[in-house]
Amino acid sequence: MSIQKGIAYYQHQHVGNLIIESEDDSITRIGFWKDTGGAESITPVIEQCLQELDEYFSKGRKFFTFNLGFRGTEFQNKVWRELINIPYGTTISYEELAIRLGDVKSIRAVGLANGQNPIAIVVPCHRVIGKNGNLTGYGGGLENKQWLLEHEGAVLKQLSLF
């Protein structure tokens, strides 16, 4: 049985270009992309993803419903699944994420796995910040992390805490 792969490109005025990839009925990658794209192969799950991204960016969607196909180690998958539990419009620290995963000492490994998240925005690694409230590293650039958090209203909530 062959795997049905798909690819699409998504452009957004604030975060720039995204590449979306799928295998069968699961999204396997949403990444920031420098180019404007090439040939596309739109699968049903990519079509659903594109629609839900439009809804997210127009502030109508707070969670995503399509299947995710994680491709990582057992530990990475555990971290990425936990990221999905961070509610829209909120942030947590890397330390809190490590505690949620059961081992505060794993904070560096958690940070590394967070940074290797292959499904940006949908698996909201942008909602993880430094313990002191600083916006730390983001594969899509700190300006995109800040924009996403502002879009979700998390920056306003966070500023009210300090």
State the chain's mean pLDDT as an integer.
Answer: 91
pLDDT tens column, 52-99: 999 999 977 999 999 999 999 999 999 999 999 999 999 999 999 999
* Alpha helices by DSSP H, 59-106: 74-83, 94-100
Angular region, 133: left φ>0, alpha ψ -120 to 50, beta rest: left
Catalytic residues: 125
Distance between CA 49 and CA 29 in Å, rounded?
11
pLDDT tens column, 113-137: 999 999 999 999 999 998 888 888 8
pLDDT tens column, 15-44: 999 999 999 999 999 999 888 778 999 999
Sheet containing 16-23: which strands, arranged edge to edge?
A: 5-12, 16-23, 26-33, 67-68
Q: In the chain, where are the structural domains located?
A: 5-67, 72-159
| Helix %, strand %, coil % of the chain (to 5) | 40, 20, 40
Q: Which sign, positive or negative, has the C-alpha torsion 98, 81, 139, 75?
A: positive
pTM, 2 dp: 0.90
Q: Is 53 helix (H, G, I), strand (E, B) or coil?
A: helix
Q: Under a CB-based contact definition with an 8 Å cutoff, are residues 119 and 64 in contact?
A: no
CATH fold of 72-159, please?
Answer: Arc Repressor Mutant, subunit A (1.10.10)
